[in-house]
Structure formats: C-alpha cells, structure tokens
Amino acid sequence: MVLKIGVIGTGAIGREHIDRLTNTIAGAKIVAVTDVNQVAAQDTIEMYGLDAVVYPDDHRLIAADNVDAVVITSWGPAHEESVLAAIAAGKAVFCEKPLAATAAGAKRIVTAEMASGTKLVQVGFMRRYDAGYLGLKEAIANHAIGAPLMVHCAHRNPTVDERYSTEMAISDTLIHEIDVLHWLIADDYQSVRIDFPRNTKQAREGLRDPQIATLKTKNGVIITVEIFVNCQYGYDIQCEIVGEDGIVKLPEFSNIITRKSGQLRQSILADWKDRFTRAYDVELQAFIDALKTKGEPTGPSAWDGYIAAVTADACIAAQTSGQEEKIDLEEMPAFYR
Ligand SMILES: NC(=O)c1ccc[n+]([C@@H]2O[C@H](COP(=O)([O-])OP(=O)(O)OC[C@H]3O[C@@H](n4cnc5c(N)ncnc54)[C@H](O)[C@@H]3O)[C@@H](O)[C@H]2O)c1
Ligand SMILES: O[C@H]1[C@H](O)[C@@H](O)[C@H](O)[C@@H](O)[C@H]1O
C-alpha cells in the first residue's frame, strides 16, 4: 500500500521532503500540495514532476479524500493551526519543528490529540535519527563515560536571512538542541539562562548574535549551547558530553581530506540541508513505515513538541530578563508513555 501525502509549505525544506518522499523513501506518494504562495506550489509540482493537485489552503488539502497523511513544512507560526486541523480530520501528521510557536499552542495540540484517542502527530526532530547522536545516546545508556556532568554544544549557521530574529535563535535554531539533549542524557530541564557575548558585526541591525544558553537539569548537569548564526565559515554542529569517567563527542561530518601544496585540508559544510540528509531520510521513512505497520507514528511525539515549546518559552523569557528562568513541565500523561 502506498500512503498518499499532502504537503503544506513548498519552501526550502518542503521541497527537500517532497524530493525525498518521491525519490528516496518507499511507500509514499505526494498527491497534494499547498502554499500561501500558490505559484511556488505549482512550480514545485513541475520541478519534481508530481502527479499532484495544488490546493488553495491547508484546510482544503487536509480535508481532501485522497490525502491519507499530512506533512507540514510551512513557517513555524502557521504549524499549530494545520496540526489541529489534521487531528480534527483524524489524519496522521508529520510537522517540522517547532510544533507550535508557544507552549500554550503545543498544549492545545496535546489536548486535541489525547481527546482524539489516537496518536497522530510526529515532530521533525531529525537529530534523534542521526547516527552521531544515536552513537552518543548508546554510549551514555551503556555507561561508557559514567554519569554525564556537563554538555558543551555549538550550533553555528554561516548566515541567516533578514526575517531571522533574536527570538528565532531559540524557536528555530536552539530548538534542535532543546529536543535532542534531554533525550540524549535522559534527564529533564530545570532552568535556563541566556547570555549575550559581544555582538558580531556580521549580524543585521537589531539581531543579537551570538547567544549562549546555559541549561540546568534535574540531575545537576549543566549544558552550554553557543548559538551563532552569522559565523560565516560554515554550518557546524558540535556536541561534547563530559562524564565522570570520560568524554564522548559528536563526530565531525566526514568530508575527504586533501594533502596538497604543503597543506592538509578538509572542507566544512555550508548548508543545513547537507548535514542531516540521512537523518531526514530515516525519520520520514520511519513515519511512513509506522503508519503502515502500527497505524500510528512512533517518532518524536506531540509531547516532545510540548517539552521543547515550554523550554523555548523559558529561554525567550530569559533573553529579556537576563535571569535564570525556571522550566516548569507538566507530568507526562500516560497516553504518551
Ligand atoms: N528540521 C530541520 O532541520 C529544518 C530545516 C529547515 C527548516 N525547518 C523548519 O521547517 C519550516 C519551514 O522552513 P523553511 O526553511 O522551508 O522556510 P521557507 O520560508 O523556505 O518555506 C516556508 C514555506 O511555507 C509557506 N507558508 C507559510 N505559511 C503558510 C501557510 N499557512 N500555509 C501554507 N504555506 C505556508 C511559505 O510561503 C514558504 O513557501 C520551519 O518551521 C523551519 O523551522 C526545519
Ligand atoms: O530552520 C533552520 C534549520 O532548522 C537548521 O537546522 C538550523 O541550523 C537553522 O538555524 C534553522 O534556521
């Protein structure tokens, strides 16, 4: 059986996911697309040679009889409305991060999903499917470095466009670390503080860049994440976990090494699209396979989206207060265990 997919948002990652669902992943077919920019939606159909219909909006795409499941790749603030509509229609939905723009929005999704009685939502936290992060998780679970004490991370983008704001450093960028780190060390966040080092001259007027998030967990682990989205030199994701018996570190993305003219060279990636290609493939294949074999998604859930949203709200509050802000999570409902 081939799952018929409708895609909402045909921008950068929308097109990436359409390409992989069409050419890499087994068992899915794009039958519907929509975008507030209808020309972009139509262009996408032509670009990938899709046998698909362009719908005028997300609600009509979700309601279409031939759409079995929905992929949401629109702008973050638009996600909540589309996810709620998919839940109301009883359709499974893969939603790119963030699940919702606020913790209150994520909670509305959790409440609606629980009321529907069926798990329908998967959030696009693809780092959980990345071989490097999986290796770190296994090492920690096997006590290879003893109890984690500290985590040091960097999330660097070469540049960002003019729409990118100081808050997006949290909701769009840090959100990846927010999700993957508590999962990695099996711990819960307790508080966060955000510091702003000297601003880079490369940032557009009004954008605070870089930023440093310091998260503390219930077990006393201190996590520092540098978010630097105008670093210029490339797309660079670093993660090192310091334990009581040793250290584990995310591998460098492997590019060939060249020895030439008295130099040893290895190029650095320039674009997020290339860093997690395999992880995106695996997460979307897992989404499709789980719907077919189990009837529900089994990847990062709406509850994971809620945890990330509560944490992101506290980070955003910490950006303006300059204080350590508490991260107050509700108890995980039995529905998500
Ligand atoms: N997991 C990842 O690594 C990753 C990478 C990139 C982007 N993302 C996330 O994916 C989402 C899209 O990012 P992008 O880089 O593709 O942005 P983009 O601006 O390139 O594309 C977004 C598209 O959505 C459309 N859109 C906006 N609101 C809409 C609505 N209500 N209905 C239909 N279409 C709508 C826009 O017209 C645009 O074409 C963001 O939430 C972003 O955080 C995730
Ligand atoms: O939407 C993108 C994407 O999520 C990338 O993985 C991240 O590095 C960027 O900062 C963000 O803007």
User: Which atom of ligand 2 lies closest to the CA of 275?
Assistant: 6
Q: How far is CA 157 from CA 231, 234, 254, in A?
A: 6, 6, 18
Q: What is the Å distance from ligand 2's center to 176 Cα?
A: 8
User: Which atom of ligand 2 lies closest to the CA of 173?
Assistant: 10
Phi, psi of 80 (to 5 degrees): -55, -50
Residue entry with tokens 């798990």: 119
pLDDT per residue as tens digits for the range 131-172:
999 999 999 999 999 999 999 999 999 999 999 999 999 999
Q: Is 70 in contact with 93 (CB distance < 8 Å)?
A: yes
pLDDT per residue as tens digits for the range 202-232:
999 999 999 999 999 999 999 999 999 999 9
Top-level CATH class of 3-126+277-300? alpha beta
pLDDT per residue as tens digits for the range 246-268:
999 999 988 899 999 999 999 99
Per-residue b/e over 195-208, b at no fewer than 16 CB within 10 Å? Answer: eeeeeeeebeeebb
Top-level CATH class of 128-270+310-326? alpha beta
The domains of the chain are located at 3-126+277-300, 128-270+310-326
Q: Is the CB of 172 under 6 A from ligand 2?
A: yes
pLDDT band at 291 (very low <50, low <70, confident <90, very high): very high
Residue entry with tokens 């334990």: 243
User: Which of 94, 72, 54, 68 has the alpha carbon at shortest distance from 2?
Assistant: 68
Pocket perturbation via mutation, ligand 2, pick of 164, 173, 235 by most ligand atoms within 8 A of CB: 173
Query: What's the order of all strands across the beta sheet hosting 3-8?
Result: 53-54, 28-34, 3-8, 69-72, 92-95, 121-123
Amino acid at 219: N
User: Helix (H, G, I), strand (E, B), or coil: what is residue 317?
Assistant: helix
pLDDT per residue as tens digits for the range 20-70:
999 999 999 999 999 999 999 999 999 999 999 999 999 999 999 999 999
Distance CA 67, CA 4 (A): 5
Q: What is the Å distance from ligand 2's center to 146 Cα?
A: 31
User: Helix (H, G, I), strand (E, B), or coil: what is residue 265?
Assistant: strand
Element (DSSP H or E) covering residue 263: strand 263-266
